[in-house]
Amino acid sequence: MRETLTNLVLLIALVAFPAWALAVDEPFLITLATRAVILALAAVGLNIALGWGGLVSLGHAAFFGIGGYAMGILASHAQGYTPLTEWPFVIEGTKSMPVIWLVAVAASALAALGIGVLSLRTAGVYFIMITLAFGQMLYYFAISWTAYGGEDGLSIYVRNGFPGLNTLVPVQFYGLCLAVLILVLALNAALIRSPFGLALNAARQSPERVRTVGLDPRRLQLAAFVLSGAITGLAGALFADLNRFVSPSMLSWQMSGEIMVLVILGGAARLFGPVAGAILFVVLEHVLGGISDYWHVFLGALLLLIVLFARGGIVGLIAGRRGGP
């Protein structure tokens, strides 16, 4: 199937490109590729809720930012040698990525549960507006939280560590992020084919039908939303580590929009859609951004054209209509 071929090509590109960059000694390009991979991960998360769940979440930056701040808070306490809290028991900071990721995933999943429960009481436009509002709420909260930098954000001087790797070496960090992305993509692929995936996808197309066979579409969507938030949160932690910086801008509506653009550019409800979208976005950002400071105008025009005329995104254009899972 053409889609499988497209996916394979993208996968090969993700391995070949940094290998080439390593060969020609351009570490900046590896960093660029890392950025694409992490943004792809964030978009993979959103795609589960948006593409398959049919939930137009315009506030996914909330989870991206929670993941980022999980990293920022834990690492800043570690680098300052002060514990997070001493009551009821001492919680120290940490600079270990696995621990940070665990916390990031748990925190974003919890937030997604809370936001999901409230937002899924509504549907349609209300849902869109509410998710946007909750994202904004966390954004202003982060700005007001001066203990962790407030508007200025939080810098982490040294990248966090992963056992067995030297994360300061660009290609090693890239490899780590790529491994995470591939693992999540594999889980995503299994999910789509699973009974849960079948039910979720049906709930998007006909909630009435799903209810009639004895399933509750809202519970299915809530589960998808939580999973979606958790994955985007993990991406946020990685993103903060890439930049060694976390700030409220990770929670902004612009970020939410950007993550959604990644999904749509590549093709919603396509396994590698977010990957294609993220790669295209980073390429445009780098190339067009180099030409003009106002490259967002072109991004906007491109997005408009895609929405009006090429709804299936890149993967949709190349692979044609979706076949069965």
Closest CA to 259 of 158, 147, 74, 135: 135
Closest CA to 184 of 325, 28, 32, 43: 43
Task: Considering the complex, state which of residue 90 and residue 213 has its C-beta at the smaller distance from another protein.
Answer: 213
Task: Considering the complex, state which of residue 180 and residue 265 has its C-beta at the smaller distance from another protein.
Answer: 265
Task: Considering the complex, state which of residue 10 and residue 50 has its C-beta at the smaller distance from another protein.
Answer: 50
Task: Considering the complex, state which of residue 83 and residue 325 has its C-beta at the smaller distance from another protein.
Answer: 325
The span from the CA of 58 to the CA of 80, in Å, is 35
Query: Is residue 74 a contact partner of residue 91, using CB atoms and an 8 Å limit?
Result: no
The span from the CA of 245 to the CA of 227, in Å, is 25
The DSSP code sequence of 24-79 is TT-HHHHHHHHHHHHHHHHHHHHHIIIIIT----S-THHHHHHHHHHHHHHHHHHH
Task: Considering the complex, state which of residue 168 and residue 307 has its C-beta at the smaller distance from another protein.
Answer: 307
CB of 143 to another protein, least distance (A): 7
CB of 160 to another protein, least distance (A): 27
Task: Considering the complex, state which of residue 242 and residue 276 has its C-beta at the smaller distance from another protein.
Answer: 276
Positions in the binding site for another protein (CB under 8 A)? 50, 56, 58, 118, 121-122, 124-126, 128-130, 132-134, 136-137, 140-141, 143-147, 187, 190-191, 193-199, 201-202, 205-206, 208-216, 220, 223, 253, 257, 260-261, 264, 268, 294-297, 299-301, 303-304, 307-308, 311, 322, 324-325
CB of 35 to another protein, least distance (A): 20
CB of 9 to another protein, least distance (A): 24
Q: What's 145's DSSP letter?
A: -
Cβ neighbours, 10 Å, residue 47: 31
Query: Is residue 21 a contact partner of residue 33, using CB atoms and an 8 Å limit?
Result: yes
CB of 258 to another protein, least distance (A): 10
CB of 187 to another protein, least distance (A): 8
